[in-house]
Amino acid sequence: MTADRFVSPDHIRSLFSQAMSHMYRTEVPLYGTLVELVAEVNAKVLAAQPALAEQMQRSGERERLDVERHGAIRVGTAQELATLRRLFAVMGMYPVGYYDLSVAGVPVHSTAFRPVDGESLNRNPFRVFTSLLRLELIEDDALRAQAAEILSRRTIFTAGVLQLIEQCERDGGLGEDDAWRFVVEALETFRWHNEATVSLETYRALLGAHRLVADVVSFRGPHINHLTPRTLDIDAAQVQMQARGLAAKAVIEGPPRRQCPILLRQTSFKALEEMVHFPSGADNQAGTHTARFGEIEQRGLALTPKGRALYDALLADARGGAGSTGDDYMQRLQAAFAGFPDDHDRLRREGLGYYRYALTEAGRALPPAGRDLPAEVLIERGLATADPIIYEDFLPVSAAGIFQSNLGGDEQRAYAARANRAAFEQALGAPVSDEFAIYERLQAESLAQLAS
Ligand code: OOG
Ligand code: NI
C-alpha cells in the first residue's frame, strides 16, 4: 500500500472534532448557545481590531479559530488510557504534559492529547484533556476493590474501533472509507449514557468516596464532559453568558485581562443535573448525576520556562492562602500581574514568551545575504515580524478550579499523595512530551527560515 491511499491524520482529527461537536450539541443544547455566543464575540473583536485580524491571518490562526475546541474525559484503568493513546494517535494527537490534580483534592492525574506540529495545529488544534482516576486514593479498602472490579468488567471501545486502530498501526494509515468508519466507531466511546452500570446504592457509596469516582466508575464509558470553544475576549463572552442566563463561574481562571494575552483564561458554567437510570434487580431506579458542563477559554502567548516561573509566582501571590475566592480576587490578581511586562517587544526581548518569526514583503525582496542579521534587527528595520505562538496546553491550577466548581458539591479535600508522573506514563505506555520543547522547536524553525 502506498501512502497516498491514506487520508492524513489531520483530516481524521477534523472529521472527528466536527462529529464530536455535533454529538455534544445534541446532548447538551446549551453548548450550541455557547458556540453561537463565542462566534458573535469573536466577529466583533476581529472587526474592531484589524491588526489582530491581520496577525491571525498571517499566522494561520484565523481559519482554525472557528473550529477550535478542547474536550475532557476521565478514565478508570491503565488499559483504557493506553488504548486511548493509540486511538488518538490515529488522529495525529499525542500526549503532551503531565498534570497532577491530587494536590487540589481531585484524585486524578492527566495529560492532554493534541497535535504537535505547526501545520497540524493550524489545520485543527483539537485537544482532549484526559484524566486517569487514581484508585489508590480511595481510602476504604472494600470500596476500592469493588470499584476496581467494576472497572475491570467494562469495555469502553467498540470492536470496530479496536480493529481499525490495529489496521492503522499495521498499514501506516487509513483510507477515506475506513477513516469515516473510525470516526463513527470512536465517537461511541465518548457518548453519554443515561443508564448507570451500578445500583443506586453502589453509586452513592462511590459518590461518598469522591464525586469523581462515581462519575468514572458508574457508567459504560468516559462521556465527554465539556467541549470548549475559544473566544478572543473572555470578559465580553462572560458578560454575554450571564445575559443569556448561563450561570457562569464568578471568577475567570488564569491570568488577568491584559493588552497582550498570555497562556490561558477560562470560565465555565455548572454541571447539568441529569436523569439517570440505575439498575435494580429486574427494575430501574431513577436518580440524577452531574458531570457535564460548559466552558469557554481565551488563549494567548505561550511562555518560556522563565515566563512561566514568573506567572506561577505572581499567581501564587494573588491567591495567597485563599485560592481564587473572595470578592477582591480579580483586583488582587490584576495588582499582582503589574509585575509581568505587557507589550510584545518587551516580552520577546526579555525571553518571557515564544514567537513565530517571518519575513515581511520587504524582507523577502532582499537576497539571503542581505538579511543575515539578528532577528531583532530585522524586526526594527521592518524586514521581519514576530507573532506570539499560542499556548496549546492547560494550567493545573485552572484545571483544578474547573474540576472543583463543576463537581456539583462543595466538598474540599486534600490528598497526601504527590505527583506520580512515572506511574502515569507507565499506565499510558509512553512518555508524555514536554510542552516547552514543542514551543521552542516551533520558534527555532521560524528563525531558521528567516535566513534561508
Ligand atoms: C477536566 C477539567 C480541566 C480544563 O480546561 O482545564 C479542563 C475535567 O473536568 O475532566 O478541562
Ligand atoms: Ni476544559
Q: Is 406's pLDDT higher than 90?
A: no
Q: What is the pLDDT of residues 188-201, one digit of tens each?
A: 999 999 999 999 99
Q: Which ligand is nearest to the CA of 271?
A: 1
- The closest residue, in CA terms, to atom 7 on ligand 1 is 399
Q: What is the pLDDT of residues 236-274, one digit of tens each?
A: 999 998 888 887 777 889 999 999 999 999 998 876 788
Rounded-to-integer distance, Cα 227 and Cα 265, Å: 15
Q: Which ligand is nearest to the CA of 405?
A: 1
Q: Which of 106-110, 138-142, 243-247, 330-334 has the weakest average pLDDT?
A: 243-247
Is beta strand 127-133 parallel, antiparallel or unpaired with respect to 283-290? Answer: unpaired
To the nearest 10°, the Cα dihedral for 95, 102, 294, 157?
Answer: 50
The DSSP output letter for 345 is H
Domain boundaries, the chain: 3-301+392-432
Q: What is the pLDDT of residues 206-236, one digit of tens each?
A: 999 998 999 999 999 999 999 999 999 999 9
Helix 421-428 / helix 78-90 crossing angle, nearest 10 deg: 60
How far does the centroid of ligand 1 lie from the alpha carbon of residue 270, in Å?
13
Q: Supply the pTM of this predicted model.
A: 0.95
What's residue 50's pLDDT? 95
Average pLDDT score over residue span 326-336: 85
Superfamily of domain 3-301+392-432, CATH level 4: Uncharacterised protein PF07063, DUF1338 (3.10.180.80)
Closest ligand 1 atom to residue 394 Cα is 6
How far does the centroid of ligand 2 lie from the alpha carbon of residue 402, in Å?
7
What's residue 281's pLDDT? 78
* Confidence band of 411 (pLDDT split at 50, 70, 90): low
Rounded-to-integer distance, Cα 34 and Cα 22, Å: 13
> CA 354 → CA 30, 178, 295, 324, 404, distances in Å?
35, 38, 26, 27, 31
How far does the centroid of ligand 2 lie from the alpha carbon of residue 226, in Å?
7
Q: Which ligand is nearest to the CA of 253?
A: 1
Task: Collect all residues with Cβ–Cβ distance below 8 Å to 191 and sequence separation of at least 6.
Answer: 23, 27, 221, 223
* Confidence band of 431 (pLDDT split at 50, 70, 90): very high
Mutating to test ligand 1, I would choose from 192, 402, 404, 405 the residue with most ligand atoms within 8 A of its C-beta, which is 402
Q: What is the pLDDT of residues 150-177, one digit of tens each?
A: 999 999 999 999 999 999 999 999 999 9
Can you read off the three cell numbers belonging to residue 388?
506570539
What percent of the chain has a predicted confidence (pLDDT) above 70? 95
Rounded-to-integer distance, Cα 287 and Cα 280, Å: 12
Q: Is 409's pLDDT higher than 60?
A: no
- The closest residue, in CA terms, to atom 11 on ligand 1 is 72
Q: Which of 13-22, 335-344, 417-426 has the weakest average pLDDT?
A: 417-426
Ion ligand 2, residue ranges at CB < 5 A: 295
- Mean pLDDT score of the chain, rounded to an integer? 92
How far does the centroid of ligand 1 lie from the alpha carbon of residue 432, in Å?
18
Identify whether the C-beta of residue 187 lies closer than 8 Å to the C-beta of residue 23.
Answer: yes
Q: What is the pLDDT of residues 56-80, one digit of tens each?
A: 988 888 888 988 899 999 999 999 9
Residues having CB closer than 6 A to ligand 1 are: 72, 74, 129, 131, 225, 266, 394, 398-399, 402-403
To the nearest 10°, the Cα dihedral for 278, 281, 282, 288?
Answer: -10
Residue corresponding to grid cell 491530587: 102
Average pLDDT score over residue span 356-373: 90
What percent of the chain has a predicted confidence (pLDDT) above 90? 72
Identify whether the C-beta of residue 230 lies closer than 8 Å to the C-beta of residue 37.
Answer: no
Rounded-to-integer distance, Cα 127 and Cα 95, Å: 10
Q: Is 413's pLDDT higher than 60?
A: yes
Identify whether the C-beta of residue 20 lies closer than 8 Å to the C-beta of residue 101.
Answer: no
- The closest residue, in CA terms, to atom 3 on ligand 1 is 399
- The closest residue, in CA terms, to atom 5 on ligand 1 is 399
Nearest C-alpha neighbor of 352 from the set 256, 273, 439, 253 = 439
What's residue 285's pLDDT? 86
- The closest residue, in CA terms, to atom 9 on ligand 1 is 403
Q: Between these two residues, 268 and 296, which has the higher pLDDT value?
A: 296
How far does the centroid of ligand 2 lie from the alpha carbon of residue 176, in Å?
31
How far does the centroid of ligand 1 lie from the alpha carbon of residue 73, in Å?
8
Q: Which ligand is nearest to the CA of 110?
A: 1
- The closest residue, in CA terms, to atom 6 on ligand 1 is 399
Closest ligand 1 atom to residue 395 Cα is 6
What's residue 249's pLDDT? 75
